[in-house]
């Protein structure tokens, strides 16, 4: 078993929503609700879910870009939530992030060479000549050339900008990269190039990824293990092959039925859902998917199922298996 790099225990993030009515107390929106998982050294751990499922909030809470409401985030068995700002600054050299929109991630007033060099300057790594040399190495590593360094972000395509963001994330030789929807803003052909780049870099640099996406095919291609999120909770988790070959939770089955068929002769039926999506401000007592689930019973509305291991690390939170 590889070493555990990140361990998340019962992590929750609650946002306070101000009421539009005078004197009415703020309401609590549970964006991440009692989530636990581990990420092992050298793997890609994928998180899948619909928009609003809490996956991006979870990634930001793991990074402490937003402060969790409760729970633990352990990095190499050390609690990130106990670190002071100066201690977190040191840790950020080892945990980097690539965001969804490469254009808004880059300061349009600075050259891309400056932007890739900036993390080195902030952390006091090397002199001016050494940092320039490192920038050149990073550009070559992500498939760009040294001449690109003097250009500005608007002079590049979306795929090139994302390569620049990846280069910046690699500048400090991180151990783990949180990739939050890194290809969703790109054309399909460019998506494939960036995903293949990430896989190549993982092999060369022994990187670990937390890969967040709503694109089921992309996550299947790049991930070793996968977690499925629904309204702030993980409903299924396991290795990629087990999840795709044998999805257990009705929500997972519904998601996978929506994947476009690879062959025109594939007659697989899509699972149609009905019913209302519960509000994260007023979550039901039992399973949050019960109002839409075609297999729901009355017990599903009353009992909140826990993640239960079915076989070889494949876990599901469903009353049908509890």
Check whether 271 has a pLDDT greater than 90. Answer: no
Indicate the number of domains in the chain: 1
**Quick one: average pLDDT of 46-55?**
92
Q: How many helices (H) and strands (E) does the chain have?
A: 9, 12
Q: What pLDDT was estimated at residue 264?
A: 65
- Mark out the alpha helices in the chain (DSSP H runs): 55-63, 85-91, 112-122, 128-141, 158-170, 188-205, 216-222, 240-245, 250-257
Q: What pLDDT was estimated at residue 269?
A: 76
Per-residue pLDDT of 219-234, as tens digits, reads 989 999 999 999 999 9
**Quick one: average pLDDT of 201-213?**
95
Look up the CATH number of the domain holding residue 290: 3.40.50.300
Q: What pLDDT was estimated at residue 265?
A: 62
Geometric angle at alpha carbon 295, from 221 and 247, rounded to 5°: 20
Lowest-pLDDT range of 87-101, 262-276, 287-301: 262-276
Q: What pLDDT was estimated at residue 51?
A: 87
If you average pLDDT over every residue of the chain, what do you get?
91
Check whether 304 has a pLDDT greater than 80. Answer: yes
Q: What pLDDT was estimated at residue 92?
A: 92
Q: What is the DSSP string of 251-270?
A: HHHHHHHTSPPSSTT--PPP
Q: What is the DSSP string of 80-115?
A: GGG--HHHHHHHTTTEEEE-S-TTTTS-TTS-HHHH
From CA 133, how far away is CA 117, in angstroms rounded? Answer: 10
pTM above the 0.85 mark? yes
* Residue-range definition of the domain harbouring residue 106: 4-321
Check whether 19 has a pLDDT greater than 90. Answer: no
Check whether 302 has a pLDDT greater than 70. Answer: yes
């Amino acid at each position: 078993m590889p070493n555990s790099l990140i361990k998340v225990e019962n992590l929750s993030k609650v946002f306070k929503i101000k009421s539009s009515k005078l004197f009415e107390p703020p309401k609590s929106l549970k964006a991440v609700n009692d989530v636990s998982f581990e990420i092992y050294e050298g793997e890609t751990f994928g998180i899948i879910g619909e928009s609003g499922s809490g996956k991006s909030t979870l990634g930001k809470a793991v990074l402490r870009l937003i402060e969790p409401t409760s729970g633990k985030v352990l990095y190499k068995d050390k609690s990130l939530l106990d670190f002071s700002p100066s201690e977190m600054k040191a840790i950020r050299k080892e945990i980097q992030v690539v965001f969804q929109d490469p254009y808004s991630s880059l300061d349009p007033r600075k050259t891309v060479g400056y932007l890739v060099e900036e993390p080195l300057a902030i952390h006091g790594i090397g002199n001016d000549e050494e940092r320039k040399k490192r920038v050149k190495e990073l550009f070559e590593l992500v498939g760009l050339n040294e001449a690109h360094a003097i250009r500005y972000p608007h002079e590049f395509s979306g795929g090139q900008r994302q390569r620049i963001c990846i280069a910046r994330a690699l500048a400090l030789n991180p151990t783990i990269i949180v990739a939050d929807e890194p290809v969703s803003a790109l054309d399909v052909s460019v998506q494939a190039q960036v995903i293949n780049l990430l896989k190549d870099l993982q092999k060369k640099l022994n990187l670990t990824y937390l890969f967040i996406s709503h694109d089921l095919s992309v996550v299947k291609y790049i991930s070793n293990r996968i977690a499925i999120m629904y309204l702030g909770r993980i409903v299924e988790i396991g290795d990629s092959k087990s999840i795709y070959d044998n999805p257990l939770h009705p929500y997972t089955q519904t998601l996978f039925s929506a994947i476009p068929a690879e062959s025109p002769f594939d007659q697989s039926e899509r699972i149609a859902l009905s019913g209302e999506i519960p509000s994260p401000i007023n979550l039901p007592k039992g399973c949050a998917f019960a109002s839409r689930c075609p297999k729901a019973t009355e017990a599903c509305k009353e009992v909140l199922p826990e993640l239960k291991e079915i076989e070889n690390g494949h876990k599901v939170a469903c009353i049908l298996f509890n």
